[in-house]
Amino acid sequence: MVELRPLGVSRVFTDGRDLFTENLMPGVSVYGERLVSWRGTEFRQWDPRRSKLAALLLKGWKILPLGKGSQVLYLGAASGTTVSHVSDLCPEGTVYAVEIARRAFQKLLDIAEARHNVLPILADASAPEAYAGALSGVDFVYQDVAQRDQVEILRKNLRFLGPDGSGILMVKAASIDVAQPPQKVYDAVRRALRRGGLHALGTVPLEPYQRAHAAIVFEFAH
């Protein structure tokens, strides 16, 4: 018998060890994750080794401003593992999921067919004008794009983020500069965000779940 309790952040639950989100599509497992029932509701286990956002929360981060109706721009959606959990957290909102790789996008389409709040967009996140007509303002930007110009890609997509919005940039250090220690890369990214008018609320390395990755949580500087 599983006993869950709120984690204290954005409708995420824990059994004291693992994380869970309430399943938007009861009975359906997205990537082979465990399904459990608690107090008449079904939940999906959230794997931190397959989802950097889960890793961030397990590292103790408590600020995740996602509500039931949040509008989310997800850049680098891949095959939709984390997208599906964000979908659980925003059942009355929309997750605009941008992915450029066609093979991964096909899996994303399969998820979107079952989940009414996921809108898949086959496009390059570095060229947001291609999908500007598909969305207006969003509350939250989540970016997981393993490219050298990660900060520039984020900057180009800030046009969609409302003035009170926030977001998370998942930084893969080796994609930016393989010769530098990861911490130096994270520091350089923070400085670049500051020059771009953003305020970093925190930088959280994701070891042991994700090697040489860090999450930088940001908002507009006021």
Note down the domain range covering 57: 52-220
Tell me, what CATH number does 174's domain have? 3.40.50.150
Of the pLDDT bands very low, low, confident and very high (cuts 50, 70, 90), residue 88 is very high
Taking the model in full, what pTM does it have? 0.96
**Could you give the count of Cα atoms lying within 13 Å of 202 in the half-sphere of its Cβ?**
11
CATH number, position 11: 3.30.200.20
Residues 63 and 127 in one domain: yes
Q: Average pLDDT of 92-99?
A: 98
Output the pLDDT for position 10: 85
Residues 93 and 67: beta-carbon distance below 8 Å: yes
pLDDT in tens, 141-187: 999 998 899 999 999 999 999 999 999 999 999 999 999 999 999 99
pLDDT over 70, % of the chain: 100
3-class SS of residue 164? strand
Residue 24 and residue 86 share a domain:
no
Cα–chain center distance at 222: 24
pLDDT at residue 69 in the model: 97
Tokens for 108, please give them.
């994303």
CB 102 within 8 A of CB 122: yes
pLDDT in tens, 5-21: 999 888 999 999 999 99
Alpha-carbon gap, residue 185 to 183, rounded angstroms = 5
Q: What is the pLDDT of residues 61-79, one digit of tens each?
A: 998 999 999 999 999 999 9
Number of domains in the chain: 2
Q: Which of 132, 102, 100, 135 is nearest to 119 (CA)?
A: 135
